[in-house]
A and B are shown apart, each in its own frame.
Chain A
């Protein structure tokens, strides 16, 4: 029944502006020319010409590799790491006689490293492939000939196919719409995945084809569509359709884009014009980039540095070696005759000392490879994977309702989470939960509604007000019934029909009547329960109709001309049906900022009902209609401050005469075909929307997700800048800015927009160049003005709000730096009406312009570009679409988890990874330096100080687990304190733990330790007997002793530098040392064929010798004392922020609120954004008022 009724509605007649018929414009003349060459033979995909076109299939692939390219491509990726090339080089060399130690111990680590990483890549790509398969195998109905439609997989669609898409299904490709279930060929689409907008958009087929409403009518349908080539612009489309010997122009109005969804319409028919990667959405998509964290990139530099050092010392070594070798034979006499220099091959040949030196250089490169920690890559991979597991397992980032835990999808970027400088956030579905709730209203100057908004709650919590805790259980008590979506209003004065007893009940009645009538929603009656639900273009509109219903003005039927509501008659006290005749709809658009309907009630009275933004409504009030203007304004101000979006409601009675005049004008304008048609319509509408009588204002909460204001507050306190990039309208975006405390009263707003009369006039003229030039100039001047404002005032904070059109110019190469400077100077930045590509461009601008780490967070397919462009992309996994999650690096289910993700996990990971890398270089340098120094004592002949397998196992068994444990488990500060002192996060942003001084410091420490170990060992165990039996120290014993010392030193150093000892740390650190001795025992017990020089060295030589133990003890303590002294001094006099928090915890002050406050306040920069800042601002304002009051007479 509902369907029957709806099909009779001809919506296009009601709408005034949106769906004007498209005309041939200048653009259409390009068709067939370059850039406009596409031809689709509708319903004839198999015909000769169509096959000749050879357009790509509808198969969409998002994988990085294919089976064929995987090996070369991923290997190539691997060898972009310079360290890997180095190890490949040394690995190859180690098969020659140049190798100082066995080949297998040189090449094996490389194979393991590369293999592990490649397997990881393969698994990740395989997952993407699975996702692709799912999408490509979705089914859609396709015309098979003879008027029959059959299901076909998406991937098999071809250009020219006629498809039938049913309600709530996604469009499989870009389609030109032919007809829909509505007679006038309109349909509603949801483009959430493209631009993030949640309101439905209307599309309309050409009149000529809109009567093709059944499957059979396509039996003999033929048409040729000519249009532009594939491009990324979502909002433009130029084409023509040749149908029945005539050409009809096509506009974006007929184009249905892939990845958008059919809503409120039973089915549509369409012709495929763009397939697969030609579709607009895919053209917008960028290749998934392989992201690497800043730390890792810096690590590369570090490796270059070390490699330089390595080359240098190899060079020194080989020069000295060359000289020593050349001197071995002088005047035919052998010097070091025991080396037999007279009978050598080139490696040691004195006659060719230069060749020997060069060859020795290669040997040295292999020998000193311990300077470059190859296992670092593997260790980091392991650590990161384990860190991700911890992130995924965090129960505090698990969302009960959606049953989704956090999910770190790539492990590459964990530490980057601790360095985020700017968060770029999508709005809908990310900050908000994409539902509107009617929460308050002001009628006749009286505020109604007790609801508490998320923002107010957040502010109350910050102030520590007890009010809230009292209220909440109370609220629950009063709401035994299930809550209604979109309605959170509670006021006994007007609920349950009590409004009739209010002093201004007439106005209240008019107010809700207006809400019930002035909209474009469609009621849907559930036939079983009789309950009515609404399908509205936007969630706010739905909220209004629902609110009216709940108060007692139930809109239940809409016909072509009538709107019927059921309302309470205050006199009889009964519910009566009223039907209004709908005469005109003057619909909403962004320049009008208001919507009106003209209706005639049952008594024949003509009413103009109007709702709109305060900026346009107050000036339209009649003089006698302004009774409660002041009060209403004040209340609206309060609402806005509580983060609500407000609309002003007003009405006016029209007399017959006036209406007639208007109607003639209006119809004229509507039917005009001039270029200035819309202007005429607007003018006509404007003329009638005057002298209104104010009724009141509504306040709708664009419901923020749980905990968003607190989260933003914490992030702001942590010094993270937050930008909002949204596809929404400017007003909406600003509202959310208020709601989330990114904006507040008293913040100076710099608004950059192109909604200026000058530009609009130019646009009418249609001179593209002039528009572009004027627009650019305008944007430039606005930016410069903003900058001037910024520099002229040094107090107060600024907010920058820019719309998509201006953004297009602001992002031009010569403007963007100016724009960036302005934006960086502002406390909050909001970009509205921005397209996916713009979002990505803004992200790129911030990333490249500031050089800081950016994090993008979003939930829709429109955020994909941004997520991929940013250093870190975080997807919100709550919503139905998975595109954002698939493109993200980390997926969380709620925005508020970002707080824990960044402040706790991010900080930890950053700290862990950076300490780990520093320590890694330290331990390898310590080890490498002992090898190098020993070299100096062998006249640089390339003899390693240690047994082959000692060397190979250094990074595997004796030092790896502790450092991995540090990378996985270390905590400088507990999560509670991380969140309590958000400023700690700045350690990551300012890179305090991985800056060059710190890295060099660690390296210096490593070199010092190496030098100390070497000289202490060699001096203590020189040439004298080292034990009672008179035995002297030989090569094996010195090596093993030195090695013991190194193992002790690096492990104890680690123990000193971690701040969190669980049983695991104890096991791995002390265990590693024990393992060294066990290894020495075991290896020494194997036959000398295998153990060679290590045979029995410990059990026979070292263990019974007291001087071995005494030397070890001395070397370890003496080597570590400088570090202990250094870090004591640093802790005492130059503590870093985490040190201070550690102190506080240690002293037991962490739970002393007063004390914490002192530390926090004294160390926190004043924040300009967030709830705390808002409270501060309010306090200041109050103080000023008080001050003012005291001083004024």
Chain B
């Protein structure tokens, strides 16, 4: 084709000046880029390629799956739901009334049995359910500037309705998140001996260093008519109020755990732990569950079989597909360029 155009243009110009370079010619400059001729690899999904890729995925995924599953299985987790059980029988018909009655002592004792040996550190979590920490109204109801900087204490925009105390002075920390701070407390004892819970460093370091000021102290907190959750010690700077910091890192989903502390002591199988807890927090209004969780951790984190199973499933599936494709490839090789597959050959249109 191209040869033809070249040769046809040649003789017809006749006068022979066609070859002479023209000044100011509009001839496009030749380059591989402008002519769209850059060297390129043009991969297509050949059976060989697909089979090898699927096999490779299988080969990689199955071991990862096995490892993840093992890691998850090695984690020992004790979960104890106590929201219903910590309500005295006579109050079980009016849980909300019970929890909102300040005059009743909310102490409650739970006994947990350690199923397997647990190596320290053992993480203590509380788990809430059906609690929308990710609700838009809730998430926005804070003021980061105020938390960080003592001089910006009166920056309370976005904190409605927990913005100002009755006298108009700003609440620090303001907003719904801080106001609804979780206030159940746990203390643990192993065969009568107190298990200390280390509550230091349970929050992200960046939060302590950069988001919560060392010189910002709680002011006017929980002074309103309606009390939310926990109160804060006004003499401890926010950066050291780790429960608050953990709480204010809002959860992504309505079911979430938050770190309460660490037990830095190994536990043996069949040990019995007595937990004395103060059941203060109202989850009864919105039918939320409360759970206490003790868990060790692996390189992958806590107990969750999903990743392991998922890896194994996908790995297995890939092996299966690779085999299936191989069989198809061997049994029914593709007819090269079989045009009967073309849609417009099947129902020819026009003449």
Residues of A within 8 A of B (CB): 100, 333-340, 343-345, 347-348, 389-390, 392-396, 398, 400-401, 403-405, 461, 472, 475-476, 482-483, 706-707, 710, 719, 721, 797, 824-825, 827, 896, 937-939, 941-943, 945, 969, 971, 975, 979, 986, 990, 992, 1016, 1018-1020, 1022-1039, 1059-1065, 1087-1089, 1092, 1095-1096, 1100-1101, 1105-1107, 1110-1111, 1113-1114, 1117-1118, 1121, 1124-1125, 1127-1128, 1131-1137, 1139-1140, 1142-1147, 1149, 1158-1159, 1162-1163, 1165, 1168
**B206, A1062: Cβ atoms under 8 Å?**
no
Q: How far is the CB of B252 from chain A (nearest CB, A)?
A: 4
**B50, A1128: Cβ atoms under 8 Å?**
yes
Q: How far, in angstroms, from A1060 to B127 measured CA to CA in the complex?
A: 51
Q: How far, in angstroms, from A1107 to B24 measured CA to CA in the complex?
A: 63
Residues of A within 8 A of B336 (CB): 1140, 1143-1144, 1147, 1149, 1159
**A1124, B50: Cβ atoms under 8 Å?**
yes
- Name the segment of B107-115, B166-174, B267-275, B314-322 touching the other chain: B314-322
Residues of B within 8 A of A335 (CB): 285-286
Residues of B within 8 A of A392 (CB): 28
Residues of A within 8 A of B228 (CB): 337-338
**A1132, B334: Cβ atoms under 8 Å?**
yes
- Cβ of B191 within 8 Å of any chain A Cβ, yes or no, is no
Q: How far, in angstroms, from A93 to B30 measured CA to CA in the complex?
A: 51
Q: How far, in angstroms, from A600 to B342 measured CA to CA in the complex?
A: 71
Residues of B within 8 A of A1128 (CB): 45, 47, 50, 325
**A1118, B300: Cβ atoms under 8 Å?**
no
Q: How far is the CB of A846 from chain B (nearest CB, A)?
A: 14
**A1026, B251: Cβ atoms under 8 Å?**
no
Q: How far, in angstroms, from A1146 to B48 measured CA to CA in the complex?
A: 12
Q: How far is the CB of B267 from chain A (nearest CB, A)?
A: 15
Of all chain A residues, which has the CB nearest B97? A333
18 contacts between A and B (CB under 8 A): A100-B136, A339-B138, A340-B162, A348-B137, A393-B34, A398-B26, A401-B9, A405-B28, A939-B135, A1020-B304, A1034-B251, A1035-B249, A1060-B40, A1088-B210, A1113-B64, A1118-B310, A1121-B54, A1131-B44
**A1088, B211: Cβ atoms under 8 Å?**
yes
Name 9 extra pairs, CB < 8 A, besides A389-B34, A1020-B306, A1061-B43. Answer: A396-B5, A398-B26, A472-B7, A939-B132, A1023-B256, A1034-B256, A1088-B210, A1089-B148, A1135-B341
A941 in complex: contacting residue of B125, B135, B300, CB < 8 Å? B135
**B42, A1105: Cβ atoms under 8 Å?**
no
- Cβ of B262 within 8 Å of any chain A Cβ, yes or no, is yes
Q: How far, in angstroms, from A1139 to B341 measured CA to CA in the complex?
A: 11
**A333, B12: Cβ atoms under 8 Å?**
no
Of all chain A residues, which has the CB nearest B211? A1088
**B148, A1088: Cβ atoms under 8 Å?**
yes
Given known A-B contacts A1023-B255, A1024-B295, A1133-B334, A483 and B34 have beta carbons under 8 A apart? no
**A990, B136: Cβ atoms under 8 Å?**
no
**A405, B9: Cβ atoms under 8 Å?**
no
**A394, B28: Cβ atoms under 8 Å?**
yes
Residues of A within 8 A of B193 (CB): none
**B317, A1020: Cβ atoms under 8 Å?**
no
**A1127, B180: Cβ atoms under 8 Å?**
no
**A706, B12: Cβ atoms under 8 Å?**
yes
**B204, A1100: Cβ atoms under 8 Å?**
yes
Q: How far, in angstroms, from A718 to B228 measured CA to CA in the complex?
A: 75
**B44, A1059: Cβ atoms under 8 Å?**
yes
Of all chain B residues, which has the CB nearest A945? B252
Residues of A within 8 A of B206 (CB): 1095-1096, 1100
Residues of B within 8 A of A1020 (CB): 304, 306-307, 310
**B45, A1027: Cβ atoms under 8 Å?**
no
Given known A-B contacts A937-B253, A1117-B57, A1143-B337, A719 and B176 have beta carbons under 8 A apart? no
Q: How far, in angstroms, from A707 to B259 measured CA to CA in the complex?
A: 79
**B41, A1061: Cβ atoms under 8 Å?**
yes
Residues of A within 8 A of B351 (CB): 797, 825, 827, 1168
B337 in complex: contacting residue of A344, A1032, A1140, CB < 8 Å? A1140
Residues of A within 8 A of B321 (CB): 1121, 1125
A1110 in complex: contacting residue of B2, B64, B136, CB < 8 Å? B64
**B299, A398: Cβ atoms under 8 Å?**
no
**A1030, B259: Cβ atoms under 8 Å?**
yes
Of all chain A residues, which has the CB nearest B313? A1118
Q: How far is the CB of A1119 from chain B (nearest CB, A)?
A: 10
Residues of B within 8 A of A1024 (CB): 77, 257, 295, 301-304
Residues of B within 8 A of A992 (CB): 343
A405 in complex: contacting residue of B13, B27, B226, CB < 8 Å? B27
Of all chain B residues, which has the CB nearest A1037? B252
- Cβ of B297 within 8 Å of any chain A Cβ, yes or no, is yes
Q: How far, in angstroms, from A253 to B21 measured CA to CA in the complex?
A: 48
**A390, B42: Cβ atoms under 8 Å?**
no
Of all chain A residues, which has the CB nearest B12? A706
A1026 in complex: contacting residue of B145, B301, B349, CB < 8 Å? B301
List 3 A-B pairs, minimum CB-CB distance, nearest first: A1024-B302, A1163-B339, A1025-B302
**B300, A1022: Cβ atoms under 8 Å?**
no
- Cβ of B156 within 8 Å of any chain A Cβ, yes or no, is no
Q: How far is the CB of A602 from chain B (nearest CB, A)?
A: 39
**B68, A943: Cβ atoms under 8 Å?**
no
Of all chain B residues, which has the CB nearest A1064? B38
Residues of A within 8 A of B103 (CB): none
Residues of A within 8 A of B15 (CB): 482
Among B58-90, those with CB < 8 Å from A are 61, 64, 68, 77
Q: How far, in angstroms, from A1159 to B342 measured CA to CA in the complex?
A: 12
**A1022, B304: Cβ atoms under 8 Å?**
yes
Residues of B within 8 A of A405 (CB): 26-28
- Cβ of B119 within 8 Å of any chain A Cβ, yes or no, is no
Residues of B within 8 A of A345 (CB): 160
Q: How far, in angstroms, from A1087 to B38 measured CA to CA in the complex?
A: 44
Q: How far, in angstroms, from A913 to B263 measured CA to CA in the complex?
A: 60
Residues of A within 8 A of B43 (CB): 1059, 1061
Encode contact with A along B149-182: 1 for CB under 8 Å, 0 otherwise: 0000000000011100000000000001001100
- Cβ of B276 within 8 Å of any chain A Cβ, yes or no, is no
Of all chain B residues, which has the CB nearest A979? B1
Given known A-B contacts A333-B285, A1022-B304, A1121 and B317 have beta carbons under 8 A apart? yes
Of all chain A residues, which has the CB nearest B333? A1132
Q: How far is the CB of B6 from chain A (nearest CB, A)?
A: 10
Residues of B within 8 A of A1095 (CB): 206, 210-211
In this complex, the member of B125, B132, B262 whose beta carbon has the largest number of chain A beta carbons within 10 angstroms is B132
Q: How far is the CB of A1032 from chain B (nearest CB, A)?
A: 5
- Cβ of B121 within 8 Å of any chain A Cβ, yes or no, is yes
Q: How far, in angstroms, from A1140 to B340 measured CA to CA in the complex?
A: 11
B40 in complex: contacting residue of A483, A827, A1061, A1088, CB < 8 Å? A1061
**A398, B27: Cβ atoms under 8 Å?**
yes
Residues of B within 8 A of A1149 (CB): 336
- Cβ of B104 within 8 Å of any chain A Cβ, yes or no, is no
Q: How far, in angstroms, from A348 to B132 measured CA to CA in the complex?
A: 14
Given known A-B contacts A797-B351, A1020-B306, A1131-B44, A1039 and B252 have beta carbons under 8 A apart? yes
A1101 in complex: contacting residue of B53, B204, B339, CB < 8 Å? B204
A483 in complex: contacting residue of B14, B210, B303, B342, CB < 8 Å? B14
**B301, A1105: Cβ atoms under 8 Å?**
yes
**B36, A971: Cβ atoms under 8 Å?**
yes
B4 in complex: contacting residue of A461, A1025, A1145, CB < 8 Å? A461
Q: How far is the CB of B160 from chain A (nearest CB, A)?
A: 7
Encode contact with A along B269-292: 1 for CB under 8 Å, 0 otherwise: 000000000000010011000000
Encode contact with A along B208-223: 1 for CB under 8 Å, 0 otherwise: 0011000000000000
**B50, A403: Cβ atoms under 8 Å?**
no
Of all chain B residues, which has the CB nearest A336? B286
**A1035, B27: Cβ atoms under 8 Å?**
no
Residues of A within 8 A of B192 (CB): none
**A1031, B259: Cβ atoms under 8 Å?**
yes
Residues of B within 8 A of A1030 (CB): 121, 123, 259, 262, 295, 297, 301-302
